[in-house]
A and B are shown apart, each in its own frame.
Chain A
Amino acid sequence: MIRTESLTKVFQGDKKNGRVQAVDQLTLDIQQGEVFGFLGPNGAGKTTTVRMLSTLIGPTSGRAWVNNFEIGRQDQSIRASVGILTEQPGMYDRLSAEKNLTIYAQLYGVRDVSGQVEKYLRMLGLWDRRKDPAGSFSKGMKQKLAIARAILHEPATLFLDEPTAGLDPEAAKLVRDFIEELKTEGHTIFLCTHNLDEADRLCDRVGVFKQRLVKVDTPSRMRTAVFGREIEFRLRRVEPSMAELMKHFDFVKNVEVRDGRLIVGVDEPETRNPQLVKALVEAGAEVQFVSEVRHSLEDVYLALITSGHR
C-alpha cells in the first residue's frame, strides 16, 4: 500500500545547477496488491519519486506512507518492507550470483538465507550459473539477478524501475510473467516504465506524470476520458451521405471517415450500435465489420503529455 499527500521534492542546486522542482504536490493512493504504472518522460521525476518512497531521499514537503509506515519517521521499517529494482542492476561483478543474493538476504534479515537464494535463482533460471561472477552475466541475466535481489525478502511492496529495459523479447516476457505472478501473490507493485504496451498489459492503474500527476486511472478509463468511445464501421464503400446520416442521431458525438472507415463517437455503443447498423443498412450500406476503436496507451500518453489533456 502506498499513499502520498502533496509529496514535493525540490533540489536546491549549487553553483552549477539551479533549483530544480523534481516532484510537485504528488497525491496518490495505491492499494495493496495493485500494479501501478508510473509513466512519464525522462526527467519527469519518476526516479526521484521512487527514491522518496523507498526512503533513499527525503521529501521537501508533503507526507507519504508505504505499507502503513510513514516516510521520515519509520524509514528503516519501510526499507525492510519494500524491494527496489533500480535503473542499473548494480551487482557486485566480482562476486558470484549466489554471493550477491546472499549478501542482500542477510542485509534484509531473511531467516532461511540459502533457501530463499536458491528459490529465486531457480525461479529466474539462474541456478546453473549461481557460482559464476555476476560480471560475466549478460545484461538480461544481470537484470533477472537484480529482480531476484529485489524480491528475495518477499516485500509487501516492490518498486520496479524499467524492469524490461534492454532485455531481449524472451527475457522481457519472463520478467513480465514474473511480475504477473507477483501480482497474484498480493504484492503491491509500483512500475516505472517507458514501455507503454507493457504498462497496458500489466497495470491495474497508470499515472501519467511530469513533475505533477497529469492523470491517474485504469488504462481503459483513461482511453475513454481522453478519446471517448469510438466505433469503427467497415463498409464495402463509404459514401459521404452515410457520415451525414450518422450525424442525425443526437447521441453521436463525432463522425469522421478515416482510411476508408467510418468512425463514429458514441458513449454507449452496446445500446446504440444496433440503431446505427440498422440505419446504415437501410441507407444501402454493406456493413462488413463493426468494432470498437482501441487507442493504444501510447496515444493516450502522448495526448496527455504533449497537449496537457486532462
Chain B
Amino acid sequence: MRIRTIIDKEWAEVFKNKMVLITVLLFPLLFIVLPIVSMATMQSMSSIQSGKTPEVILQQCQAIGLTEVECLQTYLVSPFMLFFLLMPLAIPVAIAAYSIVGEKTTRSLEPLLATPISTGELILGKSLAAALPAIAATWLSFAIFLIAARIVAASDRVYAFITQPMWFIAVLLLAPLLTITSVNVTIWISSRVNDPRAAEQIGMMVMLPLLLVVFGQMAGVIAISLTSILIASAVMLIVDIAMIGLGIKLFQRETILTRWK
C-alpha cells in the first residue's frame, strides 16, 4: 500500500514537470518515427538511386539472398533496434533525477522519511515510479514500431529480420535490466548533486556505453546476435544486483539527512 502511495505521489508530481514529460514522450516518439520514416524513405529512394548501395554491404546482403531495397532497410533498421534499449536508460534518469533530487531541494525528504515507511518500501516505490513508465514506453513504442514496420517493410524477409527472437529478448529482458541500472545510477548521482538538471545530465552518461555499441554496429565492428544479447543480459543482471546493494547502502535515512549534499 505504501509503495503504491509513493508511486502515485511520484507520478502525480513528476509528470506535472514539463521537462520530465517532454523527455518521457520525446524518446518513444523519436524512436518510432525515425526508423519508420527512414525505412519508408529508403524504399522509395532506393528504386530511383539503385546501384548506390556500398559494395561491401551489398555483397553481404546478396550472400543471404536479399535485394538491394531489402538490404538497405535491414542495414538501416539494425541501429534503430538498439535505440529501443536507449529508451529504458534515458527515461528513468529524467524521472528519478527529479523525484530524488527534487525531494532534496524542496526539503520534503525529511518529513517523508519520518513516516512509518521502510527504507526498502521507499526505494522500491521510487525505483518503480521511475522504471515502470520507461519499461511501458519501451514496450509500447516497440509494439507500435512493429505494426508500422509491417506496413513499410519492403518484404516479409525484412520484417522477419525485425521480428527475430533476439530483438524480443533485447526489449523484453535486457531493456528492464537496463532500466534498473539507470535508476540505480541516478540514485547514486542524486546523493552527490543538488540540482535535478545536473543529475539528469550526468545520469544521461549511462547511455554512452550503449551508444558506443550502436556506432560500433554501424561501423561493422560489433555484430549483435542472440548470444551477445543474452550475455549482455546476464552481465546487466549481475551489475544490477551489485548496484541495488549500493543503492540501499546509500539510501540510509541518516546518510541522506546528514551526508547528502
B116, A107: Cβ atoms closer than 8 Å: yes
The reply to whether A56 and B116 form a contact with Cβ atoms under 8 Å apart is no
Q: Which of B1-22 contact A (CB under 8 A)?
A: 1-2, 5, 8-9, 12-13, 16-17
Bound complex: CA of A92 vs CA of B254, how far in Å? 22
A106 to B180, CA, bound (A): 26
Whether A56 touches B9, Cβ cut-off 8 Å, given contacts A79-B116, A91-B108, is: no
**Pairs across A and B, CB under 8 Å, 9 listed:** A56-B113, A86-B110, A88-B107, A90-B110, A92-B9, A93-B106, A99-B12, A103-B5, A104-B115
Q: Which of B211-261 contact A (CB under 8 A)?
A: 253-254, 257-258
The number of chain B residues with a CB under 8 A from chain A is 26
Q: Tell me the complex Cα distance, A166–B2, Å.
A: 33
Max chain B Cβ within 10 angstroms of own Cβ: one of A90, A104, A149: A90
Give min CB distance, B165 to chain A, whole Å.
43
Question: B116 — which chain A residues lie within 8 A by C-beta?
Answer: 76-77, 79-80, 107-109
Residue of B nearest to A88 (CB): B107
Against A, the Cβ 8 Å flags (1 = close, 0 = not) of B92-113 are 0000000000000011111111
Known: A56-B254, A57-B258, A103-B9. 5 other contacts (CB 8 A): A58-B254, A79-B115, A84-B111, A106-B1, A107-B117
Asked if B114 and A79 sit within 8 Å, CB to CB, the answer is: yes
Which A residues are CB-close (under 8 A) to B258? 11, 57
Distance, CA A175 to CA B8, complexed state (A): 31
Check if A146 is an interface residue, CB within 8 A of chain B: yes
A122 to chain B, nearest CB (A): 21
Residues of B within 8 A of A99 (CB): 12
Partner of B253, one of A57, A92, A104: A57
Contact A94 B107 (CB under 8 A): no
Question: How far in angstroms is the closest Cβ of chain A from B97?
Answer: 15
A149 to B5 Cα, complex, angstroms: 15
Bound together, the chains give a CA A56 to CA B17 distance in angstroms of 29
Q: Does B118 contact A (CB under 8 A)?
A: yes
The residue that A107 contacts in the complex, of B16, B17, B106, B115, with Cβ under 8 A, is: B115
Does A196 lie at the interface of the complex (its beta carbon under 8 Å from any beta carbon of B)? no
State A146–B108 Cα separation when bound (angstroms): 10
Contacts A92-B108, A106-B2 given; indicate if A54 touches B8 (C-beta within 8 A). Answer: no
The interface residues of chain A lying within 8 Å CB-to-CB of B109 are 90
Q: Any chain B CB within 8 A of the CB of A261?
A: no
For A84, the chain B residues whose CB sits under 8 A away are 110-111, 114
Q: Is A95 an interface residue (CB 8 A)?
A: yes
Contacts of A89 in B (CB 8 A): 107
Q: Are A94 and B257 in contact (CB under 8 A)?
A: no
B5 engages A107 (CB within 8 Å): yes
Q: Is the CB of B257 within 8 A of A90?
A: no
Does B254 lie within 8 Å of A94, measured CB to CB?
Answer: no
CB pair B108–A90 under 8 Å, yes or no, is yes
Q: How far is the CA of A99 from the CA of B2 in the complex (A)?
A: 15
- Which residue of B12, B109, B111 has the most chain A CB atoms within 10 A of its CB atom? B111
What is the minimal beta-carbon distance from B104 to any residue of chain A, in angstroms? Answer: 10
Contacts of B254 in A (CB 8 A): 56-58
- Answer yes or no: A183 CB below 8 A from chain B CBs: no
Instruction: Provide the residues of chain B in CB contact with A93, threshold 8 Å.
Output: 106
Closest approach, in angstroms, between the C-beta of A11 and any C-beta of chain B?
Answer: 7
A76-B116, A107-B115 as given contacts; A56 in contact with B1, CB under 8 Å? no
- Tell me, in angstroms, the Cα distance from A57 to B108 when the chains sit together: 16
